[in-house]
Each structure stands twice: as C-alpha cells, then as structure tokens.
Amino acid sequence: MKIALFPGDGIGPEIMEQARRVLDALNLPGLVVWEGDVGGAAYRRHGHPLPEEALQMARAADGVLFGAVGDPDCDNLERHLRPEQAILGLRSHLGLFANLRPATTFAGLEGMSALKPEIARSIDVLIVRELNGDVYFGEKARRQLDDGRRQGYDFMSYAEDEVRRIAHVAFRAAQGRGGKLCSVDKANVLETSQLWRDVVVETAADYPDVELSHMYVDNAAMQLVKDPGQFDVIVTGNLFGDILSDQASMCVGSIGLLASAALGERQTEFGTFGLYEPIHGSAPDIAGEGKANPMAMILSLAMLLRHSLGREADALRVESAVAKALEDGVLGGDLGGTAGTSAIGEAVLERL
Ligand code: NAD
Ligand code: IPM
Ligand code: MN
C-alpha cells in the first residue's frame, strides 16, 4: 500500500502531523508513505504549486492525503501559479470527479452545532459534489469592454456525461443509505442547471428504489439550517457543493470536523484511488499558532483507509477515537474549547 501525503500551506502541515501520528500508530503492514510539496510551499521551493514530481507521486499512490493550500502572500500571483491550483490540478488531472462530503451530528454532541440542539440532532447528510466541471473549469479571463470598463468572466457549463456520472455516484450512495436523493441546482435561472436537472431525471430511471427530489440552491441553503434532518444524500455541482458543505459543517459543529473524499474511476489493488482532505482551507488567521483542529484531517485519513486501502475496521477505529475524544470534551478553539492541535492529536491517539 502506497500513500502520498501533501501537507501544503498554513495549518496544513500542523494538522497533517497529527494525522501522521495516527497513521503511524495503526502500524499498517507493508505501508509505504511518501511526502510531497504542493501549494504556496511548492511554489517557493520549485516555482510551481503543483510540481510534476507531486503529480507523479499522486499517480503512483493508492491514495493521497491532502492538508490544505492557500497563502495570502500568493494571492496576487498569476492565477495558474496560485496555491489553489494544486488542489484543482490534482482533482482534474487525476479525474477525481466525485467529492463525498459527509456531515453527521456526533451522537450526544448536538450542543456543538450552531443550530438549536433539537434541530441539529437529526443531521446525517452526504453531500455529493461534482468536482471536475462547472464554472470552476470553464474559460475565464478579464477583458476590457469597448467603453473602457474592465470585465471579468467565467464560463459555466456541464456536459451531460459529466452530470450522468456524478448522478450515478449519488444514486448509488442513496441506495446504500436512506434511499433519498435531493438534487440541488438553480434551474429557474441557469441553463447549465436545467441540463443538470434533465440528466438527473433521466438517470433516475435506473434507480426506482431511490426517492428523487429537486431543490433550488437558495432554498437548499435555507432548508439546511431550518430542517437539515430532511436530507439524506444531496447531489450538486462544483460551486454550490463548495458553499453548501462549508455551511453544513457549522450545522454539525465546526469546519474543523468535516472530512472529504475525492474519487474517480480508477481502482487499485485495495480499493478506489482517491484524494482525501478536510473541507476547510489553510486558515492563515491561525496558522503557526498550534490552534487548528486536526480532527477533519484525521477523519480524512479514516476515509482514505476505507475507500482506498480497504481497511474498514481501521477507519472505524479512527472515527470512534475522534468521536470519543469529542465526547470526553476535548474541544479545539473552533468548538469553544481550549485544546490545541497536538493535544487533540494526543487525545485521539490515546483513545485509539
Ligand atoms: P478556511 O477554511 O481556511 O478558514 C475559514 C475560517 O475557519 C478561518 O477563521 C479559520 O481559522 C477557520 N478554520 C478552518 N479550519 C480550521 C481548523 N481545522 N481548526 C480551527 N479553525 C479552522 O477558509 P478561508 O479563510 O476562506 O481560506 C483560507 C485559504 O485557504 C485561502 O487561500 C483559500 O483559497 C484556501 N482554501 C483551501 C482549501 C483546500 O486546500 N482544499 C479549502 C478552502 C480554502
Ligand atoms: C474546497 C476549497 C477549494 C474549492 C478551493 C481551495 C479551490 O474551497 O476544497 O472546498 O473551491 O473547491
Ligand atoms: Mn471550499
């Protein structure tokens, strides 16, 4: 089993260190671990946020564990050199089109939610976010209009095969969970969304056992805080999925808790090749202070164990250790507590 670790920028290396401790404690037989540079860190060392070596390393691995990228000092670089291109490049070069972002209330810990506990109690939603298309990857540029005004534009589009393959992933996920799928779009305004909706409806014919519904994204944002328990699986495009998943994290408790998996079609000897990362970013406001919550990172490792290494029992052990630490009141600053990054890592290790 080969995995690549990409710590990245900001709090990335701090939280990756804690995931690494957990990984080492599992002592997996025959595991080979590589580490590579991505993001602003890679730009400084190699002149590019996603150096060819990092891409090759990812390709050769069974799974990739990714910290976070993003560095305010790089925000004025040309777009193709910005740290974020590392994660966008890995997702697209590796064909990782299906982003699973689960948000589930930790039993008995509804009090962590930004919502009223009785509303938070029922949250168990899987956001299936398309990751290779949408306005993220369309033509984008700036130009000057005839009257001299500057204009920026980004081309939003989905081709039907791109929608169909993510819809299949979402329908299958719903079959394995509560049997309900809600497709989120903006079909009342966007033609991209109307095509999305048409293709999701066509795909539904293969899944008569799944109850399909549709919701506009503005309403979905509202429903997610009004009654999050109504959702089982949500499938949505790249941009809406990005936004709704950050929102879902506060419904559970904190962005420092939500893990994600980016999967494609490639199978490895042990499972599905994938890239795993917290849904949050490099948190420059707290970087270097030992304050970041490493739980989302550690839970991303659990997802890697499950999907890419076929180690379900180990994944469950890691997830239980995190849940137990939370139950025991080991809370980072993001959850109103005082535990620092390494203390949280330590607490998870003890419970493992
Ligand atoms: P962010 O997720 O980094 O931070 C948002 C807020 O949440 C900040 O106040 C931060 O301190 C807090 N936070 C995030 N993770 C935390 C953790 N584990 N523990 C405690 N608090 C945490 O989002 P942002 O501030 O909008 O973006 C910062 C940089 O990260 C930008 O450069 C952005 O492009 C990048 N980014 C990268 C990824 C990624 O690598 N996948 C994801 C999102 C944002
Ligand atoms: C995420 C991030 C990324 C995204 C950025 C850093 C490109 O916000 O993984 O949620 O928008 O997909
Ligand atoms: Mn995001």
Beta carbons of 215 and 228 less than 8 angstroms apart: no
- Which amino acid is it at 177? R
Q: Which of 43, 136, 207, 276 is catalytic?
A: 136
Atom number of ligand 2 nearest to Cα 88: 7
What is the Cα–Cα distance from 324 to 332, expressed in whole angstroms? Answer: 14
246 is catalytic: yes
Rounded to the nearest whole angstrom, what is the distance from the C-alpha of residue 279 to the centroid of ligand 3? 6
Q: Which residue has the CA at smallest separation from atom 11 of ligand 2? A: 242
Per-residue pLDDT of 289-307, as tens digits, reads 999 999 999 999 999 999 9
Question: Phi and psi dihedrals of 345, rounded to 5?
Answer: -60, -45
Q: Which residue has the CA at smallest separation from atom 38 of ligand 1? A: 281
Sequence-distant (≥ 6) Cβ neighbours of residue 241 within 8 angstroms:
99, 101, 127, 128, 129, 130, 131, 234
Beta carbons of 154 and 138 less than 8 angstroms apart: yes
In the chain, where are the structural domains located? 1-96+261-352, 124-251
Question: Could you tell me what percentage of the chain is helix, strand and coil, using 3-state DSSP and rounding each to the nearest 5?
Answer: 45, 20, 35
Q: How would DSSP label each residue in 203-255?
A: HHTT-TTSEEEEEEHHHHHHHHHH-GGG-SEEEE-HHHHHHHHHHHHHHHT-G
Question: Phi and psi dihedrals of 144, rounded to 5?
Answer: -105, 130
Rounded to the nearest whole angstrom, what is the distance from the C-alpha of residue 144 to the centroid of ligand 3? 30
Q: Which residue has the CA at smallest separation from atom 4 of ligand 2? A: 242
158 is catalytic: no
Per-residue pLDDT of 156-180, as tens digits, reads 999 999 999 999 999 999 999 999 9
Beta carbons of 132 and 95 less than 8 angstroms apart: yes
Residue-level pLDDT at 240? 98
Per-residue pLDDT of 223-241, as tens digits, reads 999 999 999 999 999 999 9
Q: How would DSSP label each residue in 99-144?
A: EEEEEEPPTT-GGGSSS-HHHHTT-EEEEEEE-S-GGGTS-EEEEE
Single pTM value for the model: 0.98
Q: Tell me if residue 97 falls in helix, strand or coil.
A: coil
Residue-level pLDDT at 110? 96
Residue-level pLDDT at 92? 98
Structure tokens at 198: 């048409």
Sequence-distant (≥ 6) Cβ neighbours of residue 233 within 8 angstroms:
125, 126, 127, 128, 170, 173, 174, 177, 178, 180, 181, 182
Q: Ligand 2 within 6 A of 86 CB?
A: no
| Mutational test site, ligand 2, from 74, 84, 243, max ligand atoms within 8 Å of CB | 84
Query: Which residues of the chain are under the pLDDT cut of 70?
Result: none
Beta carbons of 26 and 303 less than 8 angstroms apart: no
Rounded to the nearest whole angstrom, what is the distance from the C-alpha of residue 83 to the centroid of ligand 1? 13
Atom number of ligand 2 nearest to Cα 238: 12
Per-residue pLDDT of 247-295, as tens digits, reads 999 999 999 999 999 999 999 999 999 999 999 999 999 999 999 999 9
Q: Which CATH class is domain 1-96+261-352?
A: alpha beta
Q: Ligand 2 within 6 A of 131 CB?
A: no
Ligand 1 binding pocket (C-beta < 6 A) is: 11, 68-70, 84, 87, 255-256, 277, 280-286, 292-293, 296, 332, 334
Ligand nearest to the CA of 9: 1
**Distances in whole angstroms, Cα of residue 174 to Cα of each of 166, 171, 240, 281:** 12, 5, 19, 28
Same fold, 1-96+261-352 and 124-251: yes
Centroid of chain to Cα 259: 6
What is the Cα–Cα distance from 326 to 336, expressed in whole angstroms? Answer: 12
Atom number of ligand 2 nearest to Cα 246: 10
Sequence-distant (≥ 6) Cβ neighbours of residue 38 within 8 angstroms:
6, 8, 49, 50, 51, 54, 66, 69, 83, 86, 87, 90
Q: Which residue has the CA at smallest separation from atom 6 of ligand 2? A: 84
What is the Cα–Cα distance from 19 to 324, expressed in whole angstroms? Answer: 16
Helix axes 84-93, 52-60, angle to 10 degrees: 40
Q: Ligand 2 within 6 A of 88 CB?
A: yes
**Which CATH fold would you assign to the domain 124-251?**
Isopropylmalate Dehydrogenase (3.40.718)
2 is catalytic: no
Atom number of ligand 2 nearest to Cα 245: 10
